[in-house]
């Protein structure tokens, strides 16, 4: 039988942090975790949408335990403030779902001067994970979930000499780089957990082709031409619902049989039941992870400290 939210174990007493929980996949992940009894910290930039999302979850699960924290992943100051707010209230975090992201937008910089897609999709989440690490390590068997995309197959590894693709930028190229960074981060982080003897796990997931606002925003940005409109149409007419697309994320976050370093995704690449999928792109993996760590520490000034 396909895995569904009915298979999520009892999460009472658990604390989860979900980025981008104000809509789309993040909302469905927050809903699934809260429905199973977890206290969910909904980390989102748009506070009005986050409040609407909270009301939607409570309508589905009246006993849901929810908390909204303002988080703008395009600002390291905002990441620090959000992390401090979470740590002030929670000694331990059991699940961190690094879900929020941008796709194929015209060239733009974050508040800290990072290329926007790498800055939000990876560096912002690197900084958040780093700052929340003490609470993750206090949990027995915490899970960190990184959300990649099939776009990681055409992405190039981050170049330490030009991580922000200056003079080489393309919307889809930057998106592919950021999604490959998510992929390398998840694998690298799990190796660090294992090396340190930590009980925490890091897993990769991707939702497949899902009808969210991601493709709509890509077209609205106007930087991708026909390709953006093509994928918007594909998502609109053939994509899975957000609830279905969120299942790989929820399975990676909660399935007791899931192991660190695994990837959960739709069975047929972009469609189908949430299943464990093989880890590909192994050639040069260690070097790519080492470069990613170098760039991430240098750009954010933060290390992934497991001590």
The per-residue pLDDT for range 199-236, each reduced to its tens digit, is 999 999 999 887 665 544 454 555 555 454 544 455 55
Residues with Cβ within 8 Å of 184's Cβ and at least 6 positions away in sequence, in order, are 157, 158, 285, 288, 289, 292
| Residue extents of the structural domains in the chain | 5-212+242-299
Q: In the structure, what pLDDT confidence band is assigned to residue 150 with cuts at 50, 70 and 90?
A: confident
Residues with Cβ within 8 Å of 49's Cβ and at least 6 positions away in sequence, in order, are 22, 23
Over residues 11-40, mean pLDDT? 97
**Structure-derived torsion over alpha carbons of residues 148, 154, 158, 161, reported in degrees to the nearest 10:** -160
The whole-model pTM stands at 0.92
Q: Which is more confidently placed, 214 or 189? A: 189
| Residues β-bridged to residue 268 | 271
* DSSP 8-state class, residue 23: S
Tens of pLDDT, residues 128-145: 999 999 999 999 999 999
Over residues 257-273, mean pLDDT? 90
Tell me the three state secondary structure of residue 175.
Answer: helix
Q: CA nearest 200: which of 258, 243, 250? A: 258
112 pLDDT more than 70: yes
13 pLDDT more than 50: yes
Q: What is the 3-state secondary structure (H, E, C) of 164-175?
A: CCCCCCCHHHHH
The separation between CA 274 and the C-alpha centre of its own chain, rounded to angstroms, equals 16
**Contact between 178 and 155 (Cβ < 8 Å):** yes
The CATH architecture to which 5-212+242-299 belongs is: 3-Layer(aba) Sandwich (3.40)
Percent of the residues in the chain that have a pLDDT greater than 70, as a whole number: 90
Output the pLDDT for position 202: 98
Q: CA nearest 187: which of 146, 232, 128? A: 146
Catalytic residues: 175
| Residues β-bridged to residue 189 | none
Quick one: tokens of 24?
């789309």
Q: CA nearest 231: which of 128, 117, 150, 126? A: 150
56 pLDDT more than 90: yes
Q: In the structure, what pLDDT confidence band is assigned to residue 307 with cuts at 50, 70 and 90?
A: confident
166 pLDDT more than 80: yes
Q: What is the mean pLDDT of the chain?
A: 91
Over residues 177-197, mean pLDDT? 97
| Residues β-bridged to residue 17 | 41, 96
């Amino acid at each position: 039988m396909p895995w569904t939210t009915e298979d999520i174990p009892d999460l009472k007493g658990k604390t989860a942090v979900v980025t981008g929980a104000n809509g789309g996949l993040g909302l469905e992940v927050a809903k699934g975790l809260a429905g199973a009894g977890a206290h969910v910290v909904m980390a989102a930039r748009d506070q009005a949408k986050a409040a609407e999302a909270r009301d939607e979850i409570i309508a589905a699960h009246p006993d849901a335990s929810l908390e909204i924290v303002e988080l703008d992943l395009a600002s390291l100051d905002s990441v620090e403030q959000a992390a401090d707010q979470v740590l002030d209230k929670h000694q331990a975090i059991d699940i961190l779902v690094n879900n929020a992201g941008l796709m194929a937008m015209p060239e733009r910089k974050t508040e800290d001067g990072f290329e926007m897609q790498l800055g939000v999709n990876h560096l912002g989440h690197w900084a958040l994970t780093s700052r929340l690490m003490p609470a993750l390590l206090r949990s027995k068997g915490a899970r960190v979930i990184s959300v990649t995309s099939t776009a990681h197959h055409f992405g190039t590894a981050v170049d330490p000499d030009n991580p922000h693709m200056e003079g080489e930028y393309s919307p889809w190229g930057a998106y592919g780089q950021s999604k490959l960074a998510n992929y390398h981060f998840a694998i690298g982080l799990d190796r660090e957990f294992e090396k340190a003897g930590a009980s925490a796990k890091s897993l990769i997931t991707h939702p497949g082709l899902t009808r969210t606002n991601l493709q709509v925003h890509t077209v609205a940005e106007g930087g991708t031409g026909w390709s953006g409109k093509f994928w918007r149409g594909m998502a609109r007419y053939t994509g899975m619902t957000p609830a279905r697309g969120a299942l790989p994320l929820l399975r990676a976050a909660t399935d007791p049989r899931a192991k660190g370093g695994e990837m959960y995704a739709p069975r047929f690449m972009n469609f189908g039941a949430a299943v464990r999928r093989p880890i590909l792109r192994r050639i040069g993996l260690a070097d790519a992870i080492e470069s990613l760590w170098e760039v991430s520490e240098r750009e954010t000034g933060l290390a992934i400290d497991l001590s």
